[in-house]
């Protein structure tokens, strides 16, 4: 017997009302975060994180449910946008729930409407990407308000590892990562950028928690945030006979063997690949010429990112080399695999290498994990006949020439600056190893500059500058000229010389010398007021303003984070003709400054009616602790003083 229509309608309304009341009900933990007390912070701190928490539950088949909670107290307007941001995989995962509240300093929490939560792509550079993100922006909020959110994500993955960042830059009161594993599983965590911390354990639930983390100020010449903020790297170890076939990654050999199964099939040599390799190497008479020809071809292959099946290892699985060759495009691992396949067809062995682009300090040897890498390059086995700076020797693999075929500018024998000295995994089955990439000397990346000019009685400088950049020092200029044109290169010089001298670039010519891995720029410039008249009788000229740079400026007398200095070597010679009617009155004393952070040697002389300044400045790659900041600042103050040293002329 059917219930009366009015009763059905009544029950429907009651159910809808109950659901609406449940949706409006604010969880107790949200209210508690809004009521939390915070200490006082410097005026430059715009917000403080009250809670940062990930709670993860993993099933025996690798499916995991991840609940994120966060709360941020707004201290003052301005600074970075406050938002909740969670990435997810569209193929093997989803965001199951996302809720947010704004808790005013007095009053009830206000829930955000669901249409405020946006679904966005991770990058505009990807042609197609299964990874996306949901984001909720806090929006305008009065100081004292608290932005609170909770996200639940689920995903099935072949990976048996996870990572958690305890902090970004804001101070944090409580930061917590918790994982519950299936029976028989074990977990091992490595805490980076922090003292060792053992997890608390209850059954098969592991919890790592940090409290009262201080603000990490963004200061000039600082190490990357990933080198400063504490983060957790966790590995899970399922039983060897687990039905899902999940594999625990205990060391780098295990990681290499696991990745080999993903990358090697794609490097198979097909007839089309063999024919292309024969064409590319037809005129090559030596091992190096064959490698160079194939390297140039793969560099010219278009870069397009297509990220598929990431949670099943797709992020590490290249497309077959024959497909990349036919389409003439691919991402970094596709281009590297195409190069490997072509080399193999030419009788040359090579290996895929995974590395982190953009930060040579990111990869940590103590955590054997493919999750540390975001880029793929190539290691080519070479004979003793090849002696290039980017060659290293691996214990079980011999001499390897490291090359990045995705970088369209860096030449064979060189490496992008942020890959030099980085830890990278050479994927070679059980012979694979984490190796330190070659670090080229400062001399290989030097800048040499020669300036000839004159100053008239009004202080106007007319000069010709010839400056040569070698190795990675040349890369920004070569990239600008190659990818954007000579017009943009001229603008680059104009901005630099205008800021330093108020100079105008009247003429610019460049000459690239691949055999020297260098580019030379020849400029004609003018600068009004380069020299200053004093008392109508003295003339002040500062030749050091025409040096090639290398300056580090530290305005603040206090420092809260270490100082990172990059390796640099500059040699400058400057000749300025004396203006008519003037003679030399005083030269600066020669300078020789030596420190743990670098060296400067500068000499001034008068030769054949010309002021001559010769300078060599070398900066050592260093991460100086905060305790040494005063010494670092003192060294660069002395360098700046030497470069600004005046030459005094007097009217005859």
Per-residue pLDDT band for 129 (boundaries 50, 70, 90) equals low
For the cut 80, the answer to whether the pLDDT of residue 2 exceeds it is no
For position 329, what pLDDT does the model report?
94
Give how far Cα 79 sits from Cα of 82, 112, 228, 371, Å.
9, 22, 20, 30
The residues that bridge with 151 in the sheet, in sequence order, are: 68, 98
* Span 378-405, average pLDDT: 97
What's the whole-number mean pLDDT along residues 395-413?
95
Answer yes or no: are the C-beta atoms of 510 and 466 closer than 8 Å: no
Q: Domain 23-237 falls in which CATH fold?
A: Immunoglobulin-like (2.60.40)
CATH of domain 252-436: 3.10.620.30
What's the first-to-final CA gap in the chain, in angstroms? 121
pLDDT digits (tens, 9 = 90+) for 174-219: 999 999 999 999 999 999 999 999 999 999 999 999 999 999 999 9
CA 188 from centre of chain: 27
Dump pLDDT digits (tens) for 455-491. 998 999 999 999 999 999 999 988 888 888 888 888 8
Confidence band for 287, pLDDT divided at 50, 70 and 90 = very high
Q: Using CA atoms, how far apart are residues 46 and 145, in angstroms rounded to an integer?
A: 12
Q: Give mean pLDDT, residues 405-411.
A: 94
Kind of pairing between the strands at 172-180 and 47-58: parallel
The pLDDT score that the predictor gives to residue 199 is 97
Segment 446-463 shows an average pLDDT of 95
**What are 12-52's pLDDT values in tens digits?**
444 443 444 445 689 999 999 999 999 999 989 999 999 99
Q: Which of 17-21, 136-140, 231-235, 464-468 has the lowest mean pLDDT?
A: 17-21
d(CA 536, CA 459): 12
Q: Which residues of 544-578 are buried (b: 16+ CB within 10 A; e: fewer)?
A: bbbbbebebebeeeebebbbbbebbbbbbbbbbeb
Q: Give the rounded percent of residues in the chain with a pLDDT score beyond 90.
A: 79
Sequence spans of domains, the chain: 23-237, 252-436, 443-651
Whether the Cβ atoms of residue 510 and residue 519 lie closer than 8 Å to each other = yes
- What average pLDDT does this structure show over 432-437? 98
Q: Hey, is 112 helix, strand or coil?
A: coil
Is the per-residue pLDDT at 53 higher than 60?
yes
Q: What local confidence, expressed as pLDDT, does residue 313 receive?
A: 43
Residue 128: per-residue pLDDT: 54
Give the model's confidence band at 159: pLDDT under 50 very low, under 70 low, under 90 confident, else very high: confident
pLDDT (0 to 100) of residue 309: 39
**How many CA within 13 A on the CB side of residue 529?**
4
The number of angstroms, rounded, from the C-alpha of 452 to the middle of its chain's C-alpha atoms is: 38
Q: Per DSSP, what are the bridge partners of residue 449?
A: 467, 572
- Phi, psi for 269 (deg, rounded to 5): -85, 120
Buried/exposed code over 156-190 (b: 16+ C-beta within 10 A; e: otherwise)? bbbbbbbbbbbbebbbbbbbbbbbbbbeebebebb
**Using only C-alpha atoms, what is the Rg of the chain?**
30
Pick the more confident residue, 96 or 500. 96
| 549-591 pLDDT, tens digit each | 877 889 888 999 999 999 999 999 999 999 999 999 999 999 9
pLDDT for the residue 605: 97
Bridge partners (DSSP) of residue 618 are 569, 599
In this predicted structure, what is the pLDDT of residue 24? Answer: 64
237 and 151 in contact (C-beta within 8 Å)? no
Q: What is the pLDDT of residue 494?
A: 85
Task: Please give the Cα distance from 640 to 553 (Å, whole number).
Answer: 8
Average pLDDT, the chain: 91
- CA 426 to chain CA centroid, Å, is 20
Between CA 478 and CA 409 the distance in angstroms is 7
pLDDT band for 536, please (50, 70, 90 cuts): confident
Q: What is the mean pLDDT of the segment spanning 124-138?
A: 78
What pLDDT score does 367 carry? 97
Supply 314's token pair: 């797709």
Question: pLDDT tier at 3 (50, 70, 90 boundaries)?
Answer: low
More confident residue, 632 or 17: 632
Query: What's the topology of domain 443-651?
Result: Jelly Rolls (2.60.120)
* Residue 125 vs residue 33, higher pLDDT: 33
Distances in Å between the Cα of 224 and the Cα atoms of 92, 186, 278, 565 are 32, 32, 44, 12
Q: What is the pLDDT of residue 626?
A: 96
């Amino acid at each position: 017997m059917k219930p009366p229509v009015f009763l059905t309608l009544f029950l429907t309304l009651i159910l809808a009302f109950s659901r609406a009341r449940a949706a409006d009900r604010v969880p107790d933990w949200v209210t508690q975060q809004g009521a939390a007390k915070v200490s006082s912070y410097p005026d430059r701190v715009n917000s403080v994180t009250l809670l940062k928490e990930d709670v993860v539950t993993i099933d025996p088949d690798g499916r995991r449910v991840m609940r994120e909670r966060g709360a941020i107290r707004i201290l003052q307007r301005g600074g970075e946008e406050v938002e909740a941001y969670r990435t997810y995989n569209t193929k093997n995962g989803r965001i199951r729930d996302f809720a947010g509240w704004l808790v005013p300093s007095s009053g009830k929490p206000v829930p955000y409407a669901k249409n405020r939560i946006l679904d966005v792509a991770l990058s505009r550079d990807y042609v197609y990407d299964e990874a996306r993100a949901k984001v909720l922006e806090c929006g305008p909020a009065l100081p004292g308000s608290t932005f609170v959110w909770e996200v639940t994500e689920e995903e099935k993955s072949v990976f048996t590892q996870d990572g958690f960042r305890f902090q970004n830059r804001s101070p944090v009161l409580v930061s917590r990562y918790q994982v519950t594993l299936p029976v028989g599983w074990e977990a091992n965590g490595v805490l980076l950028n922090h003292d060792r911390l053992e997890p608390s354990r209850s059954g098969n639930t592991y919890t790592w928690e940090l409290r009262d983390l201080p603000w990490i100020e963004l200061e000039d010449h600082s190490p990357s945030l990933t080198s400063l903020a504490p983060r957790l790297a966790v590995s899970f170890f399922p039983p060897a006979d687990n039905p899902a076939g999940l594999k625990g990654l205990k060391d780098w050999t295990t990681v290499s063997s696991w990745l080999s199964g993903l990358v090697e099939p794609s490097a198979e040599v097909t007839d089309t690949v063999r024919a292309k390799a024969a064409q590319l190497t037809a005129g090559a008479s030596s091992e190096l010429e064959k490698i160079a020809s194939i390297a140039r071809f793969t560099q010219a292959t278009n870069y397009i990112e297509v990220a598929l099946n990431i949670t099943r290892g797709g992020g590490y699985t290249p497309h077959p080399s024959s497909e990349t060759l036919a389409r003439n495009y691919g991402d970094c691992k596709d281009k590297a695999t195409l190069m490997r396949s072509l080399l193999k067809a030419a009788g040359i062995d090579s290996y895929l290498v995974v590395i982190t682009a953009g930060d040579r300090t990111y990869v940590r040897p103590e955590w054997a994990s493919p999750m540390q890498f975001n880029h793929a390059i190539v290691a080519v086995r070479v004979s003793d006949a090849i002696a290039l700076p980017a060659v290293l020797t691996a214990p079980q693999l011999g001499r390897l020439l490291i090359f990045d075929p995705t970088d369209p500018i860096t030449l064979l024998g060189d490496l992008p600056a942020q890959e030099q000295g980085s830890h990278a995994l050479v994927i070679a089955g059980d012979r694979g190893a984490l190796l330190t990439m070659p670090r080229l000397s400062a001399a290989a990346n030097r800048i040499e500059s020669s300036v000839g000019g004159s100053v008239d009685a009004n202080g106007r400088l007319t000069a010709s500058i010839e400056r040569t950049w070698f190795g990675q020092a040349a890369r920004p200029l070569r990239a600008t000229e190659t990818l954007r044109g000579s017009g943009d290169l001229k603008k680059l010089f104009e901005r630099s010389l205008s800021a330093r001298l108020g100079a105008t670039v009247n003429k610019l010519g460049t000459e690239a010398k691949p055999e020297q891995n260098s580019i030379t720029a020849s400029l004609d410039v003018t600068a009004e007021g380069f020299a200053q008249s004093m008392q109508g009788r003295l003339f002040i000229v500062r030749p050091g303003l025409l040096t090639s740079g290398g300056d580090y400026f530290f305005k603040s007398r206090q420092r809260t984070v270490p100082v990172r200095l990059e390796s640099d070597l500059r040699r400058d010679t400057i000749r300025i003709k004396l203006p008519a009617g003037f003679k030399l009155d005083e030269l600066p004393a020669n300078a020789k400054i030596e420190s743990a952070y670098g060296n400067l040697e500068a000499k001034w002389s008068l030769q054949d009616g010309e002021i001559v300044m010769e300078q060599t400045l070398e900066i050592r790659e260093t991460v100086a602790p905060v305790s040494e900041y005063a010494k670092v600042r003192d060294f660069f103050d002395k360098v700046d003083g030497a470069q600004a040293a005046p030459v005094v002329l007097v009217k005859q």
